[in-house]
């Protein structure tokens, strides 16, 4: 394996920023030394990457994606091949995707099926969470086995009755099991039973447009579910990670729990930070492009999310990448918003959108790396192999040009979806080169990766508590 030296860049981790050269050997970070120092000048390499004027950052860790996810009679349009390639273009070198247990089936069957989808197809490394759709004696036992195999987190749904939904008793049982086996419970916190009543009423009254998706999935029904999930986790003595937080009232619930010292964590996503119900209300069924759950909120919720990211009440930004093409997929819900497949594309743009937040003064550079790389790696048991640049870590490294200008567009993105949720958005900053375990997958804005390079990651249990 070639030795590579990255010279002259500003190395940014969650902990510090240093003008350092980085030596990569055997797919790992071998050493860092002050740029131009005698030590660094002594390094010989097969390849030198000039990072002068650039940032040298850990590859992004996206802890929430859904490649090829079945939903509403169709499948998310990115395969593991196309989705991980797009992730690499955007400077993400690790994804943790969700294997799905179908009701009436074993966890093992779901996990095996997801291994088959991903194996040999990924451009970057990947792990799995497990979606628990059927909590019973046997699936609870299986949780322990999965933790031993490196699938150490489990998503439960308080939404989608009849599909993924678990009632409070099932949730409590899964949490109790997690409190013993070390698994992390991830919660989709929306009161799906109440939402389904409001959906039925809206449709009966002829309110069928995409914007009504946002109206029936009320912020209060997110915060109520968040509160309930927190109390159940307290009773079980288990940590809790709430996914795709969008409502300011839900952030307040998390903040209150954290003020009590509880191990409760929250993730938000770029769509909630940059988009709003204004997008859902776009005319001509265009709003369908922005249908996801939890839903986009009125623009004033964004301030609470940014504040949560600054104060630490929210710890992670993942994408919840779950793309459906407008043509033929989102269109399934014309005349009935409840039939629009839920989910949005975004795996390619997370690092850039968050860099824009750095440029705009919303977060610091180190916080950018913390919420997009280091904390998700810790949360999902991948640190320090992933999420940082340090001797011994995998050489998942991005050379990032903080001054490049780009415009996000479906015409230029690499995700397999026919629209961009950020069409026309100007971004300062762009990925230039990406190494995955020392191998260039993006080289000066050319794709040089290959399907099958990415390996399955067996994960430790959550390291964020220690
Ligand atoms: O709308 C969304 N978020 N689709 C993906 C499934 C989920 O609930 O995360
Ligand atoms: Zn079965
Ligand atoms: Zn969800
Ligand atoms: Zn999701």
Residue of the nearest CA to atom 5 in ligand 1?
343
Separation between Cα atoms, residue 383 and residue 96, nearest integer Å: 14
224 lines ligand 1 (CB under 6 A): no
Assess if residue 192 is contained within a domain: yes
Angle (nearest 5°) at CA 346 between 344 and 350: 145
Residue of the nearest CA to atom 8 in ligand 1?
293
How far CA 70 is from CA of 67, 77, 130, 242, 316, in Å, comes to 9, 10, 14, 22, 25
Residue of the nearest CA to atom 7 in ligand 1?
293
Tell me the best of 270, 320, 339 to mutate to test the pocket of ligand 1, counting ligand atoms within 8 Å of each CB and taking the most.
Answer: 320
Helices (H), 360-400: 365-369, 375-379
212 lines ligand 1 (CB under 6 A): no
Assess if residue 35 is contained within a domain: no
Q: In what order do the strands lie in the sheet with 264-268?
A: 60-65, 92-100, 125-131, 153-157, 184-188, 240-242, 264-268, 316-317
Angle (nearest 5°) at CA 45 between 55 and 26: 85
Assess if residue 72 is contained within a domain: yes
Q: pLDDT value at position 466?
A: 56
User: How many angstroms is it from 346 CA to the middle of ligand 1?
Assistant: 12
Task: Per residue of the chain (466 residues), give pLDDT as tens.
Answer: 889 999 999 999 999 999 999 999 999 999 999 999 999 999 999 999 999 999 999 999 999 999 999 999 999 999 999 999 999 999 999 999 999 999 999 999 999 999 999 999 999 999 999 999 999 999 999 999 999 999 999 999 999 999 999 999 999 999 999 999 999 999 999 999 999 999 999 999 999 999 999 999 999 999 999 999 999 999 999 999 999 999 999 999 999 999 999 999 999 999 999 999 999 999 999 999 999 999 999 999 999 999 999 999 999 999 999 999 999 999 999 999 999 999 999 999 999 999 999 999 999 999 999 999 999 999 999 999 999 999 999 999 999 999 999 999 999 999 999 999 999 999 999 999 999 999 999 999 999 999 999 999 999 999 987 5
Q: pLDDT value at position 229?
A: 99
| Burial zone of 196 (CB within 10 Å; 0-12 exposed, 13-18 middle, 19+ buried) | middle
pTM of the predicted model as reported, rounded to 2 decimal places: 0.98
CB count within 10 Å of CB 116 equals 10
Nearest ligand to the CA of 139 is: 2
Q: Which domain range does residue 86 map to? A: 59-379
Assess if residue 309 is contained within a domain: yes
Closest Cα partner for 55 from 380, 364, 413? 364
Assess if residue 240 is contained within a domain: yes
Q: pLDDT value at position 140?
A: 98
User: How many angstroms is it from 195 CA to the middle of ligand 2?
Assistant: 30
Q: pLDDT value at position 1?
A: 82
What's the CATH number where 309 sits? 3.20.20.140
Assess if residue 105 is contained within a domain: yes
Separation between Cα atoms, residue 46 and residue 48, nearest integer Å: 7
Q: pLDDT value at position 2?
A: 86
The SS3 call for residue 311 is: helix
User: How many angstroms is it from 185 CA to the middle of ligand 4?
Assistant: 14
Assess if residue 122 is contained within a domain: yes
Number of domains in the chain: 1
Q: pLDDT value at position 465?
A: 77
Q: How far apart are the first and last CA of the chain?
A: 35
Residues with CB under 5 A from ligand 4 (ion): 320
Assess if residue 14 is contained within a domain: no
- DSSP class of residue 372? I
């Amino acid at each position: 394996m070639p030795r590579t030296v990255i010279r002259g860049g500003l190395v940014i981790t969650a902990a510090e920023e240093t003008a350092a050269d980085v030596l990569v050997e055997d797919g790992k970070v071998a050493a860092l030394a002050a740029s131009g120092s005698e030590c660094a000048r002594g390094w010989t390499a097969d390849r030198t990457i000039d990072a002068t004027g650039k940032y040298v950052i850990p590859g992004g860790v996206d802890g929430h994606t859904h490649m090829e996810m079945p939903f509403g009679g169709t499948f998310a349009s990115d395969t593991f091949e196309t989705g991980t390639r797009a992730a690499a273009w955007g400077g993400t070198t690790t994804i943790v995707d969700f294997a799905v247990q179908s009701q009436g089936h074993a966890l093992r069957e779901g996990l095996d099926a997801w291994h088959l989808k991903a194996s040999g197809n990924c451009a970057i490394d990947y792990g799995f969470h497990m979606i628990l759709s059927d909590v019973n004696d046997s699936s609870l036992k299986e949780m322990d086995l999965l933790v031993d195999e490196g699938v150490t987190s489990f998503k439960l749904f308080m939404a989608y009755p009849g599909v993924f939904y678990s009632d409070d008793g099932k949730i409590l049982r899964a949490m109790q099991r997690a409190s013993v086996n070390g698994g992390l419970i991830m919660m989709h916190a929306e009161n799906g039973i109440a939402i389904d009543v409001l959906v039925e009423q809206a449709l009966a009254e002829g309110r069928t447009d995409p914007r009504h998706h946002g109206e029936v999935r009320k912020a209060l029904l997110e915060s109520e579910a968040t509160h309930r999930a927190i109390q159940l986790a307290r009773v079980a003595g288990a940590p809790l990670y709430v996914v795709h937080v969008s409502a300011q009232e839900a952030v307040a619930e998390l903040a209150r729990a954290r003020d009590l010292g509880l191990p409760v964590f929250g993730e938000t996503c770029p769509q909630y930070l940059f988009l709003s119900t204004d997008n859902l209300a776009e005319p001509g069924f265009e709003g369908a492009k922005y249908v996801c759950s939890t839903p986009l909120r009125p623009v004033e919720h964004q301030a609470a999310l940014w504040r949560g990211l600054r104060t630490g009440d929210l710890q992670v930004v993942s994408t919840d990448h779950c793309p459906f093409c407008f043509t033929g997929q989102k269109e399934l819900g014309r005349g009935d918003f409840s039939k629009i497949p839920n989910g949005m594309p975004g795996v390619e743009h997370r690092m850039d959108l968050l860099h824009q937040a750095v440029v705009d003064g919303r977060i610091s550079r180190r916080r950018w790396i913390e919420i997009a790389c280091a904390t998700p790696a810790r949360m999902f048991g991948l640190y320090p192999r992933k999420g940082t640049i340090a001797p011994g870590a995998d050489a998942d490294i991005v050379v990032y040009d903080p001054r490049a200008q780009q415009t996000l567009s479906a015409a230029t993105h690499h995700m397999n979806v026919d629209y961009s949720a950020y069409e026309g958005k100007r971004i300062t900053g762009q990925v230039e080169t990406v190494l995955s375990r020392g191998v260039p997958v993006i080289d000066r804005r050319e794709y040089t990766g290959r399907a099958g390079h990415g390996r399955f990651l067996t994960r430790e249990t959550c390291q964020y508590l220690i």
